[in-house]
Structure formats: structure tokens, C-alpha cells
Structure 1
Amino acid sequence: MAAERVWLFDLDNTLHNAAASSFRLLDGAMNDYIECELRVSAAEADHLRKHYWHRYGATLLGLMRHHGVKPAHFLHHTHLLPTLEREVASHPHDVAALRHLRGRKYILTNAPLAYAERVLRQLGMLKFFDGVIGIEQMTMFGQWRPKPDARMFRALAAKLGVSPRRCVLVEDTLVHQKSAYGVGMRTVWMQRWARRGSHGPEVGVYLHRKPAYVCARIASLQQLRRVP
């Protein structure tokens, strides 16, 4: 049965400690973009970035909906990050865990594809995945439907040719897991870096509880082999 599984991995704060590396760079780049494009103060830009992330699951969606920001323009300019590779680090145990994990494996991230591939190359993990699905690929009928959109989860399972029940979402963000569980997927809550310092929607989350929509909690990728 394990060989029939399709693993859907989030990227940031799931496969690497983004809160201590790329998130800091991204927060600054997004704030600068919002301040410049919307002509608001630095404080207002920071507020909008956080507010739209909490409300929509992605800052971009709020900027598109309320300010007419063009997604390609936003994604390009906020993810240039010339020092990214110097900030991102992996651990040999994580690489080994992915190498030995049976089943098809995909990245499913609300970040753009180019950014995700840069991070995965730096982590030495890109070769272990059957595909990388960035936010640009999460569209339906011309509408952007990134995580946690349930319609996107259903469409993705159909595109991969499997029942949602054969999919396992490995995530650090609870609202994404709740949506995936609602369409029949199994969910794994990665708490490794949340224990050291949450970021975004997970700030203040009580890590010792296990919501009904969370099938398992892990603190390392090695524990995935024991997920029922």
C-alpha cells in the first residue's frame, strides 16, 4: 500500500527551516513591493502582507483581489532573492528520508515554481520528486486556487490519476490540512520548525493538540515511514 501512496509535500517550514532563512528575505521583498506599488507607508505594507496571508492563505490573492496587482509581476519581483542559496540549508537525514520514502512524491507550494526549484536544488532534494507544483499551476478556469482551496485539491488528485484517499499532504499549516482532509486526503502535520518559532498563520498554535483533521504529527521526515 505504501508504494501506491502519492505524497504532497509543502516546501517552506516543511522541508527546511524557512522561518530562519527565506521567509525573512521574502517578508522584506514583499513589504518593499507593496510599499512601492501601492504607495503606502512601510508600516501599512507590513500590515497588508500579514493581513492578506492570514485571510486568503497567500498575500498575492489579497493584492490581486483588492489592488489589481498582476500575479506574474508580483511573483517575479518578490522572489528574486539574490542571497537565497546562502540562507537555505538541509540535513543529510532529511535527504536520506526522502530517498527511501516509497510512493510518488510531489511538491505542492504556494510559492512560485522558480523559487521552489531553487530551494530544492540547494537542499539537494529536487531529484527525489516526481514534480513540483507551484502557485502558478494552481489555477482553475482562469482563477487562482492555491492552498487551501478544496477545489484545487480535488482537481489535483484527478490530474495525478489517483483517489484523494491515496494522497498524503505533509504540511506545517493547519488550514491547508483541514481543507485537504475534507476532500478525503490524509494529513501529516510537520511541527519540526514550528516548535522553534512559528511564522504567519501558525503563530500561537498549540502544538500539543491534535485536531481531528490531522492524521499524524511528526517532527522529522524519518517519521513518515511510520505514518499509518
Structure 2
Amino acid sequence: MVAHIDTWIFDLDNTLYPAASSLFPQIDARMGSYIQRLLGIDAAQAYRIQKDFYHSHGMTLPGLMAEHGVDPHDFLGYVHDVDVDVVLPAPLLAEMINRLPGRKLVFTNADAPYAERVLSRLGLTDCFEATCDIHALGYVPKPQVAAYAHLCETHDIDPTRALFVEDMARNLVPAKAIGMTTVWIDNGSEQGPGVALDHIDYRVHDVGSFLATTLALLESA
């Protein structure tokens, strides 16, 4: 049950909008082209490096920073220069998030300027009190344990009274370890090599259906 929850935390990409949209593939492609340009390599080599860093560091950026001295603002500015209009406004989702009792935050490995553009397009800007982004995390991304500690300390969150919604199952492992209720949006997002699912409290296909069910339970209690 979720009656004890007073803080609702949401991932951004492929969570607050459908994974079937063509937004995140744009970012993925621009990461590849950035690495090609940076290292003077072909697309296949760039793809391997991109995914190696993604799986070993939680996201591609920290690997590029550690191995190639990449400036994070340059990288993020380039890869997030995408067309967010491919995402449709979500007024029903906004209405449901606003009905949730308690605080609402976004916790993302993206940066705040990009998150603000996506939230504005979705019509969700006013739904959240804060966005904890990769700059705020000091470029230590989910699923690194330090990212969750920073989130909770900075925003005064009791993890045992928090719920985290995320499309990457591996990013819910540290959340569950500190007592959060975990919701996996199982929507076909790339998951990487084997992650056990015993840390998942709720497995759903989209955030809207989960919120509709949750609100029905809370408001009938």
C-alpha cells in the first residue's frame, strides 16, 4: 500500500512521457555523434563506447569526463538539443500528479534546462517542487548510491515515506535499499545486462495507469 507515502519522486525520460515517443532516440543519436566527433571514430565504435560507459558509470557522461576530459555543459548542451515537440501534452497526467497527497519531485540524470523544456511541453511544470538533475548530483548519476543520498539530504526526504517511479529497473535497486517504495515502468526501455526484479514493489506499463489506480485507492480510503 502507499497510504504512508508523503514524497512522490519521478524519473523524467521514458517515465513521464511514453517510451514509444521519438524523444529519447534523438538524445541517443546525438550522444553517438558527439563521441564520433570527439574521438574521430566511426558510428559503430562510438556506439560501443557510449554503451560501455552507460553500463559501467550509470550514464555516458561520467565515463567521457573520466576518460576524455569532456566538459559536462558542452556535452549536455549538445545531446539535449532535440525536438521536444514530439512529446504530446499530458493534461490528465498533470491532474493526477497534482491530486497526489504530499510533495512531488523529479530525479533525473538529465540536466535541468532540458528537464524544464520537457516538463513545459508535457504541461507538468507546476506539478513539481524541484528537479534534482545531474549538475546537482555532481555528475554522480543514478544508480550510484551517492545520488540517492544527495537527493534525500538536499530535499529532506525520509526514504521510508517516499515512492520512486522509474523506467530503469537497475535505478530502483538503491532506492529500495534505503527504504523507498519502488515502481518500475516496464515499457520496453533499454535495461542493460541482467537486473533481478526482487526490489520492485509495483510493475506497471505506464505512469498514468499506476497513478489512476493509486488515486482510486487513496481517495476511497
Fold match, TM over 0.5?
yes
Letter in 2 for 1:34: I
Please state how far the C-alpha of 1:204 moved relative to its aligned partner: 8.8
SS in 2 for 1:75: helix
Q: Is the 8 A contact 2:36 2:46 kept in 1?
A: yes
Tell me if structure 2 keeps the 8 A contact 1:2–1:102.
no
Report the Cα distance in structure 2 between the residues aligned to 1:224 and 1:15, rounded to whole angstroms. 16
Which ranges of 4 or more aligned residues in structure 1 deviate by more than 6 Å? none
CA distance in 1, matches of 2:12, 2:193: 18
Q: Deviations over 1:47-69 (max 9, x none)?
A: 22222222222111111122221
CA distance in 1, matches of 2:79, 2:90: 27
Structure 2 residue 135 is matched with structure 1 residue 149: no
What's 2:177 paired with? 182
Asked if residue 65 in structure 1 is aligned to residue 66 in structure 2, the reply is: yes
Q: TM (normalized to structure 2)?
A: 0.87
* Structure 1 range deviating more: 166-175 or 2-11: 2-11
Match of residue 159 from structure 1:
154
Equivalent-residue separation in structure 2 for 1:147 and 1:213 (angstroms) = 16
TM-score norm. by structure 1 comes to 0.84
Deviations 1:14-69 (A, max 9, x none): 11024422112111211111100111111111222222222222111111122221
- What's the CA shift for 1:176? 0.7
Structure 2 counterpart of 1:217, one-letter code: R
Tell me which residue corresponds to 1:24. Answer: 25
Pairs aligned (count) = 212
Q: Which residue of 2 aligns with 1:103?
A: 102
- TM-superposed CA distance for 1:165, in Å, is 0.8
Amino acid at match of 2:191: P
- Residues 104 and 75 of structure 1, relative CA distance in 2, 3 Å threshold: same
- Aligned-residue Cα RMSD (Å) equals 2.2
Residue type of the alignment partner of 1:98: I
